[in-house]
Structure 1
C-alpha cells in the first residue's frame, strides 16, 4: 500500500485528491495539511511514501516545507502540485529535492498512475517540461557554470548515464542503450547522484540540461 500525504491550502483540492487516490486498491491518503508547517508535521507523524505538495500557501510555503522534509533521515518522494508547468517556483522546488510535479488539471485516471510512478522512485516530469523550466531560469549563467564543473568530475560511462537521466529514460531504457544490465545501471545512477550531490534522478536530469549535455 502506497501511503500519501496531501498538502494544499484549498480544502476542496485535498478532498478531490483523496477521493481519486483512495479509489485505487494500492493507494491510501493517510494525512493532509493546509500549509507548509502543518505539512512537515503530517509527514513526520504519518511517514508517507509520497507527498503531494502545493507551493503557494499562506505562512510556511511549499518550497520551505520541501527543504525541511528532505532533511529527514528517510524522506518520502515529494511531488509538487502546480497550476502552470513553466513556473520558476516549480524549478526551485525541483532543485530543492522534489522528485517531479503534477499539474492540477491532470485527469483523474492519469493521476493514479503518476503517483504510483513517484512511489517507485521515478521522476514525474516530462523532458519537454524540464526544458521549459530550464528556459525559464533567471540565473542560467551561474547555474550552467556550476553544472559543468560538476559534470566534469564524471567518468565517460557516468556521463552517458546522466545523459539518459536528462532525457527522462528509465534504468531499463538506459541499460538497453548502453548494452548493460539494469542492475549495473542502477549502480552507475547511484554513484552519479553522489558525485553530483543530487538527492534524486530529477535533480540530476535538470543538471544535465543546465550543463548543456542534453539539448533543448
Structure 2
C-alpha cells in the first residue's frame, strides 16, 4: 500500500510533478503554503515540506522554516523536510522542532522516494552531516540516554561508514545494525527535541542567536518568526 503524502512547496513544478516522478507515493494534497494545507487538513502519512517557501515581503504571513515545522507537527503531522538547505545546524534545528526526516532535493528521485516511504511508515531519516552534529552533542553529554553499542554505531555513521562497514566492525549482521540504527535515530530525535537552542549553540560552539529559535503561534510571535527566519534562515 502506498503511503499518503502532502506536499508543501511554492514551486509549482515540484507540486505538480512529484507524484509522477515518485509513483510509490500517493500524493493527496499539494499546496504552496503551510497555512493552505492546515485549512484543508488532509489526513496523510507524511508532509513533505520545503523550508523556504516565499518572498517574505510579498507574502508576510506565510510560515517558513522552523515555524512551519512546528505548525505542522503541533497538528499531529509527521514532517519530512525536503529542501536544498545544507547548513547542518539549521537541519538539526528542524529535527529539534519535531521533523521526522530530512531529505535533500539534490538526491535522485528513487532514493528520495525510498526515504519518504521510510518516514511515512514511522522511521526517522537523518542525513550524514547532521549525524555528525548529533555525535558532538552526545560526546559533550547534551544527549546521554545511549548505550555503549549505540555510541559505537553513531561514531561509525558520523564518519561516513556504510551499514556494512559498521556491522563488520561490531561483528553483527547488517540487518541487525539497521534495526539498531532505526532505534538510535528515533532516540536521538526525541532527545534533541528536549534541548534548548542555547544548549545546542554552546555545544556546537555557535554564537548566541545563531541557532533558529522555537517560536510560539501567536500573532506577535509570527512577526518574530518572519524577521528571524529572514535574518538567519535563508540560504547564503
Question: 1:108–1:154: structure 2 CA closer, same or farther, 3 Å change rule?
Answer: closer
Query: Per-residue CA shift, 1:40-67, capped at 9, x if unaligned?
Result: 445xx22211211011124111421211
Instruction: Find out whether 1:50 has 2:46 as its counterpart.
Output: yes
Structure 1 counterpart of 2:191, from 163, 182, 197: 197
TM-score by length of 1: 0.61
> Which residue number in structure 1 is paired with residue 141 of structure 2?
149
Aligned pair count reads 185
> Which residue number in structure 2 is paired with residue 214 of structure 1?
none
Instruction: Find out whether 1:110 has 2:115 as its counterpart.
Output: no
> Which residue number in structure 2 is paired with residue 20 of structure 1?
21
Quote the RMSD (CA, aligned, Å).
4.3
Query: Any idea what SS the aligned residue of 1:5 has?
Result: strand
Query: Any idea what SS the aligned residue of 2:140 has?
Result: helix
Instruction: Find out whether 1:69 has 2:68 as its counterpart.
Output: no
Query: Any idea what SS the aligned residue of 1:30 has?
Result: strand
**Deviation of 1:32 (Å):** 1.5
Query: Any idea what SS the aligned residue of 1:149 has?
Result: coil
Query: Any idea what SS the aligned residue of 1:197 has?
Result: helix
Q: Distance in 2 between matches of 1:8 and 1:104?
A: 12
**Deviation of 1:27 (Å):** 1.7
- Please list every run of 5 or more consecutive structure 1 residues that lacks an aligned counterpart in the other structure: 135-143, 200-206, 212-216
Map 1:201-216; keep pairs closer than 5 Å: none
**Deviation of 1:13 (Å):** 1.8
Contact (CA 8 Å) 2:5, 2:25: kept in 1 or not?
yes
Contact (CA 8 Å) 1:161, 1:189: kept in 2 or not?
no
Q: Distance in 1 between matches of 2:145 and 2:88?
A: 30
Question: 1:17–1:160: structure 2 CA closer, same or farther, 3 Å change rule?
Answer: same
Q: Distance in 1 between matches of 2:117 and 2:48?
A: 12
Q: Distance in 2 between matches of 1:164 and 1:28?
A: 35
**Deviation of 1:158 (Å):** 5.0
Contact (CA 8 Å) 2:123, 2:182: kept in 1 or not?
no
- Please list every run of 5 or more consecutive structure 2 residues that lacks an aligned counterpart in the other structure: 55-61, 194-199, 205-236
